[in-house]
Amino acid sequence: MGKKYHLFEVFGIELEYMLIDASSFKIAPIVDRLLTTKNGALTSDIDNGTVAWSNELVAHVVEIKTNGPTRDLDTLSEDFHKNVLEINRLLKSQNTKLLPTACHPLMNPLKDTRLWKHSYSEVYELYNRIFDCKGHGWSNVQSTHINLPFYDDKEFEKLHAAIRIILPLLPGLCASSPILEGKITGFKDTRLGIL
């Protein structure tokens, strides 16, 4: 078991991005090529200083995250930005780039989904068998994760109470999925309805 941290003592931030073809805007399931280009050989995790890169469930999503718990939030946005720029530089030769937003507005996950076929793939296959991961909630998803520690039950209670207050506000603050499969849905945060 790792070191136990107190509430807000450290943070873990994870950002998921889709890779898309720069010309056609279609998803590009080539995260394995990106990781190989960066590392020289295929690996599912890359240590890039304060930020790490890794694969995800599907072959078109890359995750960039704090390289372990961090206390320093002041330079984190700059560190992530540098990594986004580096990834886009590496992808340029493949005519591919990162796509921001909550989900791909044109993707048809039933046709376009390809699960990660390398390390840890047996777990992803099991997820797919149990949950059918070829849907918007699994394969057409990008997100930001904020990992917060709690030391004991009292800290968990405080964290849970704070999250219950802020959680209803997040969809309005972060809404970025008004279009799904090329159609305007009438919702600013369509992704919320498909989770």
- Flag whether 17 is in a domain: yes
- Flag whether 72 is in a domain: yes
- Flag whether 4 is in a domain: no
Characterise 166 by phi-psi region: left (phi > 0), alpha (psi -120 to 50), beta (else): alpha
Reading the block at residue 68, the tokens are 């372990």
Judge whether residue 193 has pLDDT over 80: no
Domain that holds residue 110: 12-149
- Flag whether 109 is in a domain: yes
Confidence (pTM): 0.92
What is the band of 1 on the pLDDT scale with cuts at 50, 70, 90? low
What is the band of 192 on the pLDDT scale with cuts at 50, 70, 90? confident
Q: How much is the pLDDT for 107?
A: 96
- Alpha carbons 12 and 18: distance in angstroms, whole number: 20
Q: What is the DSSP string of 55-87?
A: E-SBTTEEEEEESS-BS--TTHHHHHHHHHHHH
Please tell me the total count of domains within the chain: 1
- Flag whether 168 is in a domain: no
**Pseudo-torsion of CA 56, 159, 73, 3, nearest 10°?**
-80
| pLDDT tens readout for residues 116-165 | 999 999 999 999 999 999 888 899 988 899 999 999 999 999 999 999 99
- Alpha carbons 77 and 70: distance in angstroms, whole number: 13
Question: Residue 35, exposed/middle/buried by CB under 10 A (0-12, 13-18, 19+)?
Answer: buried
- Flag whether 7 is in a domain: no
Judge whether residue 174 has pLDDT over 90: no
Distance in angstroms between the alpha carbons of the first and the last residue of the chain:
31
| pLDDT tens readout for residues 91-113 | 999 999 999 888 999 999 999 99
Q: How much is the pLDDT for 175?
A: 86
- Flag whether 110 is in a domain: yes
| pLDDT tens readout for residues 3-49 | 899 999 999 999 999 999 999 999 999 999 999 999 999 999 999 99
- Alpha carbons 87 and 132: distance in angstroms, whole number: 29
180 and 188 Cβ atoms separated by less than 8 Å: no
- Other beta carbons within 10 angstroms of residue 55's beta carbon come to 25
Q: What DSSP state is assigned to residue 151?
A: S
Tell me which residue of 46, 71, 90, 65 sits closest to 143, measured CA to CA: 65
- Flag whether 62 is in a domain: yes
